[in-house]
Chain A
Amino acid sequence: MIHSLFLINSSGDIFLEKHWKSVVSRSVCDYFFEAQERATEAENVPPVISTPHHYLLSVYRHKIFFVAVIQTEVPPLFVIEFLHRVVDTFQDYFGVCSEPVIKDNVVVVYEVLEEMLDNGFPLATESNILKELIKPPTILRTVVNTITGSTNVGDQLPTGQLSVVPWRRTGVKYTNNEAYFDVIEEIDAIIDKSGSTVTAEIQGVIDACVKLTGMPDLTLSFVNPRLLDDVSFHPCVRFKRWESERMLSFIPPDGNFHLLSYHVSAQNLVAIPVYVKHNISFRDSSSLGRFEITVGPKQTMGKTIEGVTVSSQMPRGVLSMNLTPSQGTHTFDPVTKMLSWDVGKINPQKLPSLKGTMSLQAGASKPDENPTINLQFKIQQLAISGLKVNRLDMYGEKYKPFKGIKYMTKAGKFQVRT
């Protein structure tokens, strides 16, 4: 099982180590540093590294490497999932997960890690339970603690851990009972030069924020559940009910959680809400190149596209760019060669465009590669797959909760080749 954990920042310092079994010398990380050096970018460090006596499994998030050390055959996905869970927990506890924050809260971090694993076996990974065991630091609590000498360690048995609904703590009480659901869809797409779709798929999630008193039992039904043929559920969802009736029935955890994620595959037709017209050309003879991009709406079901940003990694040979946007602001970093254009809203009457010239290194030949354009956007009040919630019902409790559903579509990995 998981032996040890090392937290390493991008400059290669180990700033926290935790051992759940015997102590593993930090020199084991030397193998990791080697791999880190070989990889040109931090993202490219391989997640599984073997050393003579151990295996190092790592995830890279928030500019920190979380490196787990294992000694025997352990499912690597188990370890990597767990590491991601650690990061999520830190984020949940401290709001952000960064080196200074972890250093500032080192004792809480240590206590949390101790509760998460026992001898390498996961113990409590639900943040509901963890928060019962170890209270997250708040400014008020820290002040109170220092004055009164009380601690942030709970002295209760984590009741949820043993009930049939381990994800929910008992005795929850709210004065305002509310349940909000956000249906968020991300479009991953590759569009080729000519504007036709190479591949497009939708990754959807339903995030919930449920603050309900007692033990509510919810059911959520959809107008078109047929869309959901590839789903992953939060453990609270009763799978049998889904299989037979195509509705979600569950006792929700308290607070924020991922109710379900789904995938609408490339085989279904995915509507592409934007198009990009581009003309990026280099000439062999001249050191000037032409650059022109226009962004426009395509299939938006009448909704506005907002929060549009366009970014593109320009070829190394490009020295500078002289561009004029019709709206928004743009920057070009001559070191990383990253062009980004913050467009904002798209007005269908007046399409935003960015035009101008690029200057190449004098004498350099025409670059081999074509830059790929990366697109970000958001569309409120639209689930592009067409998924629609029918109704939400609550059983088991008497009160009447506030209910709300919000839809949003945004770009995931949305790339346009030129």
Chain B
Amino acid sequence: MTDSKYFTTTKKGEIFELKAELNSDKKEKKKEAVKKVIASMTVGKDVSALFPDVVNCMQTDNLELKKLVYLYLMNYAKSQPDMAIMAVNTFVKDCEDPNPLIRALAVRTMGCIRVDKITEYLCEPLRKCLKDEDPYVRKTAAVCVAKLHDINAQLVEDQGFLDTLKDLISDSNPMVVANAVAALSEIAESHPSSNLLDLNPQSINKLLTALNECTEWGQIFILDCLANYTPKDDREAQSICERVTPRLSHANSAVVLSAVKVLMKFMEMLSKDLDYYGTLLKKLAPPLVTLLSAEPELQYVALRNINLIVQKRPEILKHEMKVFFVKYNDPIYVKLEKLDIMIRLASQANIAQVLAELKEYATEVDVDFVRKAVRAIGRCAIKVEQSAERCVSTLLDLIQTKVNYVVQEAIVVIKDIFRKYPNKYESVIATLCENLDSLDEPEARAAMIWIVGEYAERIDNADELLESFLEGFHDESTQVQLQLLTAIVKLFLKKPTETQELVQQVLSLATQDSDNPDLRDRGYIYWRLLSTDPVAAKEVVLAEKPLISEETDLIEPTLLDELICYIGTLASVYHKPPNAFVEGGRGVVHKSLPPRTASSESTESPETAPAGAPPGEQLDVIPTQGDLLGDLLNLDLGPPVSGPPLATSSVQMGAVDLLGSGLDSLLVELGGGGSGALIGASNFVSPPAAAVPANLGAPMGSGLSDLFDLTSGVGTLSGSYVAPKAVWLPAMKAKGLEISGTFTRQVGSISMDLQLTNKALQVMTDFAIQFNRNSFGLAPAAPLQVHAPLSPNQTVEISLPLNTVGSVMKMEPLNNLQVAVKNNIDVFYFSTLYPLHILFVEDGKMDRQMFLATWKDIPNENEAQFQIRDCPLNAEAVSSRLQSSNIFTIAKRNVEGQDMLYQSLKLTNGIWVLAELRIQPGNPSFMLSLKCRAPEVSQHVSQAYETILKN
């Protein structure tokens, strides 16, 4: 005898019959009828017509019947609000029942009746239940508040239920605490502004106590709530971590992951020198590995999170590579995630193992997986330089299998390898060319064409190969068409004699027969470039390409930090901050990792800045028209921009023409990098910023290049900050010769501005200057020219151009410069410290991707933090001011009201320095974090920052 009997219907209309049974006098029959109703309801049949009859059965002592009726009520009350009021009395009565189970049941059901009219009647019983003597009732009532809030938020606030709920956080029963936290968290989610879960050390202590005693689900709520707390110092963070770590051994994987979140977040506050820090790192690995032996669905979520953790702290799992090896019967979604993590963990130490595995995967059945495995081999090559050769040979082996999609995928990644290690593996091109005919996917075709074009000079029959593609030009996808166009132009520039016809053919195909504006525009640009100035065309098309960065899919550091705060949530599965996708964008509050604060230090920086200070400075940010003009004039008069000599012959015509049609698209290409996905586009977009305007400027008239410069940053050319002259050599020490001076940097050239004063009684002549070897190889670029003899009491100002090609010797301090000046009287020595910003070169703007990869790549030990005090500027002003000294802002983000500027600069000797500048509006103290492979420069860079910002 089973419940399926409830589904048997009779001919005469089920509802009718049920109605009769519900109204029967016999208790037994009634109950059977209610069961039948519920059964119909569960399978989605509409039994709402029976509402009054079912509600009539509610007044009963039979607990099961009561529960069944409650079930029914919850489901249908919404559609029958008037009828539902009939049930109110029973609820109120049940809330007074001596049996706590009944009280709890009533308060539970009450909240599920989603009818506005009823809710008001329920406030009183709910208030009583929140203070009930039985914790079971209290905990049920806590959840009921959340339910009620969902129906009528205003009512809940007016009735003061939120405060009662907050009080329950300090309840003596851990289960009540857990439910109160859960309810508050849910309410808080729809009320991001309200400070519902205002945590303080006392309440944290309560939560930690409850954590040990409540159910597994309660632990999840409490841990998630703890993760929102910011401990006041590292000691508190450590003590919380200590109390949370036992949760890592819980059988429930959600508890484990929530605990991991708390630890990952609070760990940020701990100093790395602490023993505890190391212990904690060690403790994190085993539970993460264990998650991977759970059911596949759990594995998937765990893997997505591990992906984040591995990016943030690779050291945790660096020895656990093997657990990510793919089993052939893993579901595909697990396989793909494992593969991703394998690549992230790949290093020189384990690359052999990883490659062997990847090769194995490349022979599996699942096409998607095989493709990704082949791609992974390419990524390994790019990531671990030592393995590149082995990767390439593995890829060649795979190409030999002739499995179509494997070959295509391999060619796509080999193209990337070429871009990372140019002129190293070109010997394989022949093998690639053999497979030309089997390529049918656009990406693979485009990659192959790129290779042919790029290495046209080494492929004897490059023209034939490209010509064969040209036949079906119009059937190709845009990606291939664009690539083909670029490749043929490259070919033409390399072998102009034999390929004239081909290039004309492709240009006419692209410009005349195509409807695609991208293609047409690119065709026109090439055409005009080629017809106006082939030299410039060569500079543009065959420009040196920047190397591709190691890992292109790394998550931006700030976003990563934010996501670490969301471990275990949907955000961590999608790798997007919640506000990017959570329903309605309810203004989710940004979370960020807590800054590291030591308990010994006074943590608060004095907030003495007058509130009204910043606006005054802002005016400088947007230069007035006059300033712009000034800059332009300035530029025209200034020394010629480095680059190829201007070809003036056909400038007029070309410029006019281009302005007509080509320029707009050109600007679009340059500005937006709209077709960034195309390899060919990189010819335009990627060369170092300084080179682009110079090259393109040539055929377009010099004015255009100014425009470009203006778009890329106002004030680039106004020169960096110049300190006032200081006395370097007092007259007393130099037999009457006083030397004061300063350093300047203007449009790429460094000079030393000297002021020589003769305070002696005799004429001085025969001046000469020499520098000792120094850290950056600074040396005079010209002899010291003092034209006339210097008579007593006369002063002469000289600007001595400097270069950085002198001999190098590390000085202490780093920016120390020892100078010898000779005149007819004697030789004098002095030393001076030069500001480091004179060494910041103009092309110090790093590509975003590159920045990310580099930031990650530089070990954390190299990170140095500085505080810049009393600088009442806002982010824009800071950014433009720094830019004029060649510190380039690459990205700006606003996190919790703080402006984060990501900046890069390059020193004359090629050292890159990456910076993160944290500016809090209203607070004149900035936080500057510098990362550089040569950490010794950081301090001087930070001084340069201070100098620039404060003057």
The CA-CA distance from A131 to B678 in the complex, in Å, is 62
- Contact at B101–A261, with CB atoms within 8 Å? no
Given the interface pairs A73-B570, A77-B253, the reply to whether A107 lies near B216 with Cβ below 8 Å is: no
Interface residues of B in 288-307 (CB under 8 A from A): 289-290, 293, 295-298, 300-302
- List of B residues within 8 angstroms of A374 by Cβ: 329
- Does A151 lie at the interface of the complex (its beta carbon under 8 Å from any beta carbon of B)? yes
The CA-CA distance from A201 to B114 in the complex, in Å, is 51
- Contact at A413–B329, with CB atoms within 8 Å? yes
Interface residues of A in 285-332 (CB under 8 A from B): 313
- Does B64 lie at the interface of the complex (its beta carbon under 8 Å from any beta carbon of A)? yes
- Residue of B27, B44, B213, B256 with most partner-chain A CB within 10 A: B44
Give the residue of A76, A157, A261 whose beta carbon is less than 8 angstroms from that of B136: A157
- Contact at B100–A23, with CB atoms within 8 Å? no
- Does A355 lie at the interface of the complex (its beta carbon under 8 Å from any beta carbon of B)? no
Given the interface pairs A143-B1, A266-B323, the reply to whether A110 lies near B253 with Cβ below 8 Å is: no
Give the residue of B323, B357, B568 whose beta carbon is less than 8 angstroms from that of A75: B568
- Contact at B301–A76, with CB atoms within 8 Å? yes
Given the interface pairs A71-B583, A72-B583, A161-B136, the reply to whether A266 lies near B322 with Cβ below 8 Å is: yes
- Contact at A78–B220, with CB atoms within 8 Å? yes
- Does B182 lie at the interface of the complex (its beta carbon under 8 Å from any beta carbon of A)? yes
Interface residues of A in 33-58 (CB under 8 A from B): 39, 43-44, 46-48, 50, 53, 55, 57-58
> Within the complex, what minimum Cβ distance (angstroms) separates A258 from chain B?
7
- List of A residues within 8 angstroms of B320 by Cβ: 265-266
- Does A142 lie at the interface of the complex (its beta carbon under 8 Å from any beta carbon of B)? yes
- Residue of B64, B179, B297, B578 with most partner-chain A CB within 10 A: B297
Whose C-beta in chain B lies nearest to the C-beta of A78?
B254
> Within the complex, what minimum Cβ distance (angstroms) separates A197 from chain B?
10
Whose C-beta in chain A lies nearest to the C-beta of B112?
A119
- Does B378 lie at the interface of the complex (its beta carbon under 8 Å from any beta carbon of A)? no
The CA-CA distance from A128 to B42 in the complex, in Å, is 25
Interface residues of B in 567-599 (CB under 8 A from A): 568-571, 573-574, 578, 581-583, 588
- Contact at B301–A80, with CB atoms within 8 Å? yes
Interface residues of B in 261-297 (CB under 8 A from A): 286-287, 289-290, 293, 295-297
- Contact at A235–B578, with CB atoms within 8 Å? no
- List of A residues within 8 angstroms of B96 by Cβ: none
Question: Which listed segment binds A: B2-10, B382-390, B919-927?
Answer: B2-10
> Within the complex, what minimum Cβ distance (angstroms) separates B888 from chain A?
37
Give the residue of B4, B63, B216 whose beta carbon is less than 8 angstroms from that of A155: B63
Given the interface pairs A47-B333, A199-B323, A232-B256, the reply to whether A166 lies near B569 with Cβ below 8 Å is: no
Interface residues of B in 133-185 (CB under 8 A from A): 134-136, 140, 143-144, 146-147, 150, 173, 175, 179, 182-183
- Contact at A17–B360, with CB atoms within 8 Å? no
> Within the complex, what minimum Cβ distance (angstroms) separates A229 from chain B?
6
- Contact at B64–A153, with CB atoms within 8 Å? yes
Give the residue of B63, B179, B298 whose beta carbon is less than 8 angstroms from that of A80: B298
Whose C-beta in chain A lies nearest to the C-beta of B578?
A73
Question: Which listed segment binds A: B243-251, B425-433, B729-737, B826-834?
Answer: B243-251
Given the interface pairs A81-B298, A369-B363, the reply to whether A122 lies near B215 with Cβ below 8 Å is: yes
- Interface mask (A139-178 → B, CB under 8 Å = 1, otherwise 0): 0001100100101111111100110101000000000000
> Chain B: interface residue count, which band?
35 or more
Interface residues of B in 19-46 (CB under 8 A from A): 27-28, 31, 35, 38-39, 42-44
- Contact at B6–A106, with CB atoms within 8 Å? yes
> Within the complex, what minimum Cβ distance (angstroms) separates A336 from chain B?
13
Give the residue of A55, A162, A265 whose beta carbon is less than 8 angstroms from that of B135: A162
- Does B78 lie at the interface of the complex (its beta carbon under 8 Å from any beta carbon of A)? yes
- List of B residues within 8 angstroms of A15 by Cβ: 43
- List of B residues within 8 angstroms of A19 by Cβ: 75
The CA-CA distance from A99 to B63 in the complex, in Å, is 28
The CA-CA distance from A201 to B325 in the complex, in Å, is 12
- Contact at B319–A118, with CB atoms within 8 Å? no
- Does B364 lie at the interface of the complex (its beta carbon under 8 Å from any beta carbon of A)? yes
- Contact at A81–B44, with CB atoms within 8 Å? no
The CA-CA distance from A232 to B247 in the complex, in Å, is 9
The CA-CA distance from A156 to B136 in the complex, in Å, is 13
- Contact at B360–A417, with CB atoms within 8 Å? yes
- Interface mask (B194-221 → A, CB under 8 Å = 1, otherwise 0): 0000000000000000000101110010
- List of A residues within 8 angstroms of B333 by Cβ: 44, 46-47
Give the residue of A14, A50, A81, A103 whose beta carbon is less than 8 angstroms from that of B252: A81
- Does A239 lie at the interface of the complex (its beta carbon under 8 Å from any beta carbon of B)? yes
- Does A108 lie at the interface of the complex (its beta carbon under 8 Å from any beta carbon of B)? yes
- List of B residues within 8 angstroms of A232 by Cβ: 249-251, 256, 287, 290
- Does A345 lie at the interface of the complex (its beta carbon under 8 Å from any beta carbon of B)? no
- Does A59 lie at the interface of the complex (its beta carbon under 8 Å from any beta carbon of B)? yes
- Does A234 lie at the interface of the complex (its beta carbon under 8 Å from any beta carbon of B)? yes
- List of A residues within 8 angstroms of B302 by Cβ: 77
- List of B residues within 8 angstroms of A149 by Cβ: 27-28, 31
- Contact at B325–A199, with CB atoms within 8 Å? yes
Given the interface pairs A75-B258, A263-B290, the reply to whether A119 lies near B364 with Cβ below 8 Å is: no
> Chain A: interface residue count, which band?
35 or more
- List of A residues within 8 angstroms of B289 by Cβ: 230, 263, 265
- List of A residues within 8 angstroms of B28 by Cβ: 149
- Interface mask (B861-873 → A, CB under 8 Å = 1, otherwise 0): 0000000000000
- Does A62 lie at the interface of the complex (its beta carbon under 8 Å from any beta carbon of B)? no
- List of B residues within 8 angstroms of A57 by Cβ: 297
- Contact at B39–A107, with CB atoms within 8 Å? yes
- List of B residues within 8 angstroms of A83 by Cβ: 297
- Contact at A43–B569, with CB atoms within 8 Å? no
- Contact at B1–A146, with CB atoms within 8 Å? yes
- Interface mask (A362-377 → B, CB under 8 Å = 1, otherwise 0): 0000001110101000
- Contact at B43–A106, with CB atoms within 8 Å? yes
The CA-CA distance from A142 to B568 in the complex, in Å, is 43
- Does B99 lie at the interface of the complex (its beta carbon under 8 Å from any beta carbon of A)? yes
> Within the complex, what minimum Cβ distance (angstroms) separates A272 from chain B?
14
The CA-CA distance from A74 to B182 in the complex, in Å, is 11
- Contact at A44–B331, with CB atoms within 8 Å? yes
- List of B residues within 8 angstroms of A119 by Cβ: 111-112, 143-144, 146-147
The CA-CA distance from A157 to B182 in the complex, in Å, is 23
- Interface mask (B349-372 → A, CB under 8 Å = 1, otherwise 0): 000000011001001110000000
The CA-CA distance from A152 to B327 in the complex, in Å, is 45
- Contact at B254–A81, with CB atoms within 8 Å? yes
A residues sitting closer than 8 Å to B (CB atoms) are 1, 14-23, 26, 39, 43-44, 46-48, 50, 53, 55, 57-60, 71-78, 80-84, 103-111, 114, 118-119, 121-122, 125, 137, 142-143, 146, 149, 151-158, 161-162, 164, 166, 188, 190, 192, 198-199, 201, 203, 229-235, 239-240, 243, 258, 260-261, 263, 265-267, 313, 368-370, 372, 374, 413, 415, 417
User: Given A76-B301, A77-B257, A198-B325, 8 more contacts at CB 8 Å?
Assistant: A78-B217, A119-B144, A152-B64, A166-B215, A192-B360, A233-B249, A239-B246, A417-B360
B residues sitting closer than 8 Å to A (CB atoms) are 1-4, 6, 27-28, 31, 35, 38-39, 42-44, 62-65, 67-68, 71, 75, 78, 99-101, 108, 111-112, 114, 134-136, 140, 143-144, 146-147, 150, 173, 175, 179, 182-183, 186, 189-190, 213, 215-217, 220, 224, 246, 249-254, 256-258, 286-287, 289-290, 293, 295-298, 300-302, 319-320, 322-323, 325, 327-329, 331-333, 356-357, 360, 363-365, 401, 403, 568-571, 573-574, 578, 581-583, 588
The 9 closest A-B CB pairs, nearest first, are A230-B286, A153-B64, A151-B64, A47-B297, A104-B2, A77-B254, A122-B217, A199-B322, A78-B254
What are 30 A-B contacts defined by CB distance under 8 Å? A15-B43, A17-B42, A39-B332, A47-B300, A50-B574, A57-B297, A58-B297, A59-B297, A72-B189, A72-B190, A72-B583, A73-B582, A74-B569, A75-B258, A75-B568, A80-B254, A84-B298, A111-B67, A121-B146, A125-B216, A151-B62, A153-B64, A158-B101, A164-B213, A232-B290, A263-B289, A265-B323, A266-B322, A368-B401, A372-B328
